């Protein structure tokens, strides 16, 4: 792209140009050990403590709901008005006296129930397509009523409705017995649930896969490191429900057999909300907006429900091929030399590394779009980028949502373009009085781009571009980094409200807490299990830290609750402290605590209250567009902490600031499964753990399991011990072995990503997705499947060399061990114990599947230059199927693609190619598992294959040297192998 066609304003560019010399000047005026401005400390604040409503007496008991009037039903749905029964009940707000009901049969499998106040006073998220647009809104209005899979039924007085699936009469959503409450700051809608229901989703939270019926899920985007069962970064108010029914059978089998069905429910809102999961019901309690409820009729297979749902919010984008490689990061790489050293060390230990990441260390004074002129000098960055380009490795830096608010009394801040240009363009969030909203993040007091403002696009793009210049790019169309990492985008803010408004003259200020590594930081950085084996030492150290903490805690931390409003009395309308206090995790539950407060205002006057949970999504979308503009045609790679429905269309996600312990490793399996159900397949945890110190055993196990995550990154925190995989022999070995498998499987992974991008297929898949009729698998979350072919059984606890796992399916399902290729004996529901030495992770291949592989290289690029192999795992009938997708690995719209279908049956394996993308490397080996007798001869088309071996004991047939038949490319023409 030429500079002249570049969209950002000239003044912005000039500001940045002006800022560069001063950035460079800092080099002369600062010593190399203290190049950062010395921050001013400011005290922490805690807001106004709120009584969490779910723990207080319920105030909705006097509400009688609504009565339906003027109901009419058409081909497209049901409409009518609802009038309040009796006087306002003032549960947690003021009741609307009249509502409008609009039920739409949108597609054959999706129904939309919308309920709003007749005067359209409440905020309507579904009208804000400028903020969130999705296929959901773009259905054809001509669905044939006779084809729809569901029925909508209702009672008029009081108004109650229920939705059933026509095919089997299952009631999917049912408000009977629960009056609707519709108030200005409180909406309550309840559905009856079946006993012991199995529901999944309602992310983002750290919880086992199956949510159970004793949980409150709170939706309030929140920067918090691994709080169990509580709200954190992302908001996805969707659940999948799986139901089982025993099948009456007259067979003599003592094993009962089941049939199953699944469906999905979405409550579309960006407002704050609690969802109460209780034994008999599930209840939505929203603090604003209207009701936009979607029910997906689903089908027998959970995956089909997911396809219906993800199709409605947007199928995920295809990722670049390199992003499947191993990523290494640490908050605390003090300079680029350290990263260059990591690169050498990884090579020396022969552990693949694809991508180097920078946390905030690279920034100058922790400010967005700047680069530290000394520790990440332009000269060294150019050298680094040249190095990694020559080896086809990659670099991804972090960008935070918040922008440093320049100190007007400090002349050296004058050159900080991202602040002044944003002020000039007027694109930051405001206070209700129109002044800038000034919170606090890493660089000090900060302002927050309003990503719903159309003018923010050029601003943000210019920032990214100018950063690429600071990194050493000399040309306007070259970004040396391969993607961007968006952090702190809930957005996080370390204080309450616009705390910097009066104090910005103190900037830069220090975060109101100690950073890891600073004197006084409250750290219990012990390896997992240390407290068990070193109890005395642990107790004295931790009590010392705690007493130090309590000594510094201020009296402002004391909890003084506001007085409760008596029942039946109209509660006061309050944006920052709504009458219904959701169970948000932060401190004392003040909604403004540790985040940008609900009364911050967008460019058009919309309160953040109503768009609270979608801030990070807005940043993702704007960044995606900026990267596509800067590198036209290339799939942007974005990793985001905060996510919303449909984020997968643009972005990957990591599970956030976890801890280096076994429970966090275990919960990350469910985290990955759930994000896969939500259309965000590129997901993974910070391997070895982010906070606290990891240890050798945990890190070895996690590096191995991480190799089976779609997104595979080791990342840890400032002040924690280093955890690069070569630091311990066992971790290095576990990593090499597991990465050898991962890189071999890249063609399989890439095919899975392609499938996800056209039908929402999950990559990391719960066992019940593949075996939906086994109720005992409904909560299985210590094992997972990669696609439909591989079953992974990781070790999730210390001090063991064995692991238990099930091999799902009847005895007819064949499972082969990945390593020795033998068929694994198993019985239904049997928990088998397997050997699991420290460097080993158990992986099984499912019979009936064909897996495309490549000889692994050091990078994904090298792997792509190597020959293909096929692994054919026959089932008991001697059949197996699989496929392969290939393209250039980077283009948004590749000009050529290739699909290959593999099928094995009756002692024949065929490969049939579709498409024009040319894979020019040959096929080397084909390994066929489950071949019951030694073949007399083996053919490739009509040619004899002489180089093959057969093992009687493993029933394995290995064909090698096939490259002589496929020298023009493994799949250049169709072929058949027979034996």
Whether 657 is catalytic? yes
Tell me which of 119, 153, 259, 435 binds ligand NAG, using CB under 6 A.
119
C-alpha separations of 560 from 47, 53, 564, 566 in Å: 10, 16, 12, 18
CB of 280 to ligand NAG, least distance (A): 13
Q: Per CB under 6 A, which region of 95-103, 510-518, 714-722, 853-861 contacts ligand NAG? A: 95-103
- Least distance in angstroms from the C-beta of 183 to ligand NAG: 12
User: Would you say 96 or 726 has its CB closer to ligand NAG?
Assistant: 96
112-120, 336-344, 441-449, 945-953 -> range binding ligand NAG (CB under 6 A): 112-120
Q: Which residues neighbour 453 within 8 Å (Cβ) at sequence distance 6 or greater?
A: 426, 427, 602, 603
List Cβ neighbours of 34 (8 Å cut-off, separation of 6 or more).
none
- Report, in Å, the least distance between residue 75 CB and ligand NAG: 13
Window of 97-105, 420-428, 630-638, 756-764 that interacts with ligand NAG by CB under 6 A: 97-105
Segment 707-746, which members bind ligand NAG (CB under 6 A)? Answer: none
Distance CA 741, CA 869 (A): 13
Task: Mark 145-184 as b/e (b = at least 16 C-beta within 10 Å).
Answer: eeebbbbbebeeebbbbbbbbeeeebbbbbbeebbbbbbb
Q: Which is nearer to ligand NAG, 117 or 361 (CB)?
A: 117
Q: Does 822 bind ligand NAG (CB under 6 A)?
A: no
**For residue 125, which of 238, 269, 221, 267 has the smallest C-alpha distance?**
269
In the complex with ligand NAG, the residue whose CB is nearer, 88 or 332, is 88
Residue 613 is given by DSSP the state G
For residue 760, what are its two tokens? 């929402």
Could you tell me which stretch among 98-106, 239-247, 356-364, 957-965 binds ligand NAG (CB under 6 A)?
98-106
Matching residue, tokens 């191995």: 704
| 798 three-state secondary structure | coil
Is there a contact between 392 and 563 (Cβ–Cβ < 8 Å)?
no
Task: State which residue, 111 or 678, has the beta carbon closest to ligand NAG.
Answer: 111
From the candidates 223, 413, 440, 490, which is the catalytic residue?
Answer: 490
Q: In what order do the strands lie in the sheet with 150-155?
A: 150-155, 160-165, 171-174
CB of 96 to ligand NAG, least distance (A): 6
The angle subtended at Cα 285 by Cα 283 and Cα 291, nearest 5°, is: 95
Nearest 5°: CA angle at 184, between 182 and 187?
35
Place of tokens 């604040």: 45
CB closer to ligand NAG, 187 vs 506: 187
Residues touching ligand NAG, count (CB under 6 A): 9
Q: Which of residues 16, 96, 315, 753 is near ligand NAG by CB under 6 A?
A: 96
Question: What is the closest distance, in whole angstroms, from the C-beta atom of residue 141 to ligand NAG in the complex?
Answer: 7
Strands 975-978 and 403-404: unpaired
Distance of alpha carbon 761 from alpha carbon 681, whole angstroms: 8
CB of 572 to ligand NAG, least distance (A): 19
| Cβ-based nearer residue to ligand NAG, 62 or 97 | 97
Applying CB under 6 A, the span of 113-121, 311-319, 675-683, 757-765 interacting with ligand NAG comes to: 113-121
CA 363/CA 749 separation, integer angstroms = 34
* Cα(701)–Cα(688) distance, integer angstroms: 8
Please say if 487 is a catalytic residue.
yes
Distance CA 82, CA 509 (A): 53
Measured from the CB atom, the residue of 119 and 974 that comes closer to ligand NAG is 119
Among 9, 62, 97, 910, binds ligand NAG (CB under 6 A): 97
List 359, 619, 657, 839, catalytic entry? 657
- With b for 16 or more beta-carbon neighbours within 10 A and e for fewer, the 232-257 pattern comes to bbbbbbbbbbbbbeeeeeeeeeeeee
Q: Which among 160, 170, 421, 487 is annotated as catalytic? A: 487
- 574 tagged catalytic: no
Is residue 98 near ligand NAG by the rule CB under 6 A? yes
Span interacting with ligand NAG, options 111-119, 400-408, 575-583, 875-883, rule CB under 6 A = 111-119
Cis peptide, bond prior to residue 508, ω within 30 of zero: yes
Binding mask 160-199 for ligand NAG (x = CB under 6 A): ----------------------------------------
Nearer to ligand NAG, 92 or 294 (CB): 294
Query: What residues form DSSP beta bridges with 509?
Result: 40
Min dist. Cβ of residue 139 to ligand NAG (A): 9
- Does residue 118 interact with ligand NAG by CB under 6 A? yes
Q: Which of residues 293-332 bind ligand NAG (CB under 6 A)?
A: none
User: Shortest distance, CB of residue 189 to ligand NAG, whole angstroms?
Assistant: 18
Q: How far apart are CA 27 and CA 217, in angstroms?
A: 50
Tell which residue, 456, 811, 439, 750, has the closest CA to residue 594: 439
Interface residue with ligand NAG, options 40, 62, 102, 960 (CB under 6 A): 102
Among 276, 203, 265, which Cα is nearest to 240's?
265
Could you say which DSSP state residue 870 is in?
A: E
Please identify, using beta-carbon distances, which residue of 183 and 693 lies nearer to ligand NAG. 183
Site string for ligand NAG, 194-233 (x = CB under 6 A): --------------------x-------------------
Closer to ligand NAG by CB, 114 or 304: give it: 114
* Comparison of 98 and 890: residue with beta carbon closer to ligand NAG: 98
Residues near ligand NAG (CB under 6 A) are 96-98, 102, 104, 114, 118-119, 214
Active-site residue list = 487, 490, 657
């Amino acid at each position: 792209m030429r500079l002249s066609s570049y969209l950002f304003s000239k003044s912005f560019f000039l500001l940045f140009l002006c800022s560069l010399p001063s950035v460079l000047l800092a080099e002369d005026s600062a010593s190399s050990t203290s190049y950062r401005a010395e921050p001013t400390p400011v005290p922490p604040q805690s807001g106004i403590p709120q009584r969490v409503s779910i723990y207080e007496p319920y105030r909705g008991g006097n509400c009688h709901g609504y009565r339906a009037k003027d109901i009419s039903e058409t081909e497209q749905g049901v409409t009518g008005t609802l009038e309040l029964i009796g006087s306002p009940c003032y549960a947690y707000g003021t009741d609307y006296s009249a509502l409008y009901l609009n039920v739409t049969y949108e597609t054959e499998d999706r129904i939309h129930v919308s309920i709003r106040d007749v005067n359209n006073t409440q905020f309507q998220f579904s009208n804000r397509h400028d903020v969130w647009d999705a296929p959901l809104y773009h259905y054809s209005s001509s669905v044939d009523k006779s084809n729809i899979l569901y029925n909508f039924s209702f009672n008029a007085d009081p108004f109650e409705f229920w939705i059933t699936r026509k095919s089997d009469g299952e009631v999917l959503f049912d408000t009977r017995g629960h009056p609707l409450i519709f108030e200005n700051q409180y909406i309550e809608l309840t559905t009856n649930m079946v006993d012991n229901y199995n529901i999944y989703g309602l992310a983002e939270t750290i919880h086992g896969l199956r949510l159970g019926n004793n949980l409150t899920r709170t939706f309030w985007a929140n920067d918090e490191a691994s709080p169990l069962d509580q709200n954190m970064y992302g908001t996805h108010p969707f659940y999948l429900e799986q139901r089982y029914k025993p099948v009456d059978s007259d067979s003599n089998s003592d094993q009962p057999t089941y049939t199953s069905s699944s469906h999905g429910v979405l409550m579309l809102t960006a407002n704050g909300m609690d969802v109460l999961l209780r034994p008999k019901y599930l209840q939505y309690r929203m603090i604003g907006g209207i009701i936009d409820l979607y029910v997906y009729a689903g089908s027998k297979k959970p995956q089909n429900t997911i396809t219906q749902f993800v199709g409605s919010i947007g199928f995920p984008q295809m990722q670049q091929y390199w992003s499947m490689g191993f990523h290494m990061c640490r908050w605390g790489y003090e300079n680029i030399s350290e990263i260059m050293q990591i690169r050498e060390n990884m090579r020396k230990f022969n552990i693949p590394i694809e991508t180097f990441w920078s946390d905030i260390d690279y920034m100058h004074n922790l400010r967005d779009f700047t680069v530290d002129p000394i520790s990440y000098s332009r000269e060294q960055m150019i050298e680094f980028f040249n190095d990694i380009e020559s080896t086809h490795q990659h670099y991804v830096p972090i960008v935070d949502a918040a922008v440093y608010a320049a100190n007007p009394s400090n002349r050296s801040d004058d050159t900080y373009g991202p602040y002044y240009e944003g002020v000039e363009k007027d694109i930051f969030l405001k206070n209700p009085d129109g002044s800038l909203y000034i919170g606090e993040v890493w660089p000090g007091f900060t302002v927050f781009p309003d990503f719903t403002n159309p003018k923010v696009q050029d601003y943000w793009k210019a920032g990214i571009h100018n950063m690429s210049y600071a990194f050493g790019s000399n040309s306007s169309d070259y970004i040396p980094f391969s993607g961007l990492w968006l952090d702190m985008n809930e957005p996080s803010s370390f204080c309450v409200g616009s705390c910097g408004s009066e104090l910005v003259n103190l900037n830069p200020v220090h975060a109101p807490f100690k950073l890891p590594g600073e004197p006084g930081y409250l750290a219990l950085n012990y390896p997992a299990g240390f407290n068990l084996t070193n109890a005395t030492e642990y107790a004295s150290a931790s009590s010392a830290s705690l007493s130090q903490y309590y000594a510094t805690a201020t009296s402002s931390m004391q909890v003084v609750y506001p007085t409760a409003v008596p029942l039946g009395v109209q509660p006061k309308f309050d944006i920052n402290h709504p009458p219904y206090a959701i169970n948000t995790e932060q401190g004392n539950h003040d909604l403004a605590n540790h985040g940008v407060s609900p009364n911050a205002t967008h460019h058009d006057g919309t309160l953040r209250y109503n768009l609270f949970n979608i801030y990070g999504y807005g940043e993702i979308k704007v960044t995606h567009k900026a990267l596509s503009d800067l590198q036209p045609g290339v799939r942007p790679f974005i990793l985001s902490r905060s996510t919303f429905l449909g984020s997968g269309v643009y972005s990957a996600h990591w599970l956030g600031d976890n801890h280096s312990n076994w429970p966090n490793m275990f919960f990350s399996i469910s985290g990955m499964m759930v994000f896969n159900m939500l259309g965000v397949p590129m997901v993974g945890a910070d391997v070895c753990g982010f906070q606290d110190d990891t240890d050798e055993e945990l890190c070895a196990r996690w590096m191995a399991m991480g190799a089976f995550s779609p997104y595979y990154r080791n990342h840890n925190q400032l002040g924690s011990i280093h955890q690069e995989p070569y630091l311990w022999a066992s971790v290095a070995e576990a990593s090499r072995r597991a990465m050898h498998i991962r890189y071999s499987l890249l063609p399989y992974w890439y095919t899975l990503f392609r499938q996800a991008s056209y039908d929402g297929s999950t990559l990391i898949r719960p066992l019940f997705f593949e075996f939906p009729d086994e109720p005992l698998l409904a909560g299985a979350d210590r094992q997972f499947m990669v696609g439909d072919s591989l079953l992974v059984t990781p070790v999730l606890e210390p001090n063991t060399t064995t692991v238990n796992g099930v091999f799902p399916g009847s005895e007819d399902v064949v499972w082969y061990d990945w390593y020795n290729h033998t068929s694994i004996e198993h019985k239904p529901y049997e928990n088998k114990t397997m050997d699991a030495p420290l460097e080993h992770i158990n992986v099984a291949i499912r019979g009936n599947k064909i897996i495309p592989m490549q000889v692994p290289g050091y990078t994904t690029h090298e792997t792509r230059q190597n020959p293909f192999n096929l692994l054919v795992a026959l089932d008991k009938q001697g059949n197996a199927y699989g496929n392969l997708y290939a393209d250039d690995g980077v283009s948004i719209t590749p000009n050529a693609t290739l699909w290959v279908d593999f099928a094995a049956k009756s002692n024949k394996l065929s490969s049939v190619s579709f498409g024009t993308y040319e894979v020019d490397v040959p096929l080397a080996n084909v390994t066929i598992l489950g071949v019951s007798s030694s073949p007399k001869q083996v053919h490739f088309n009509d040619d004899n294959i002489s180089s093959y071996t057969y093992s009687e004991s493993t029933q394995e047939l290995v064909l090698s040297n096939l490259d002589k038949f496929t020298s023009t490319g493994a799949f250049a023409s169709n072929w058949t192998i027979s034996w």
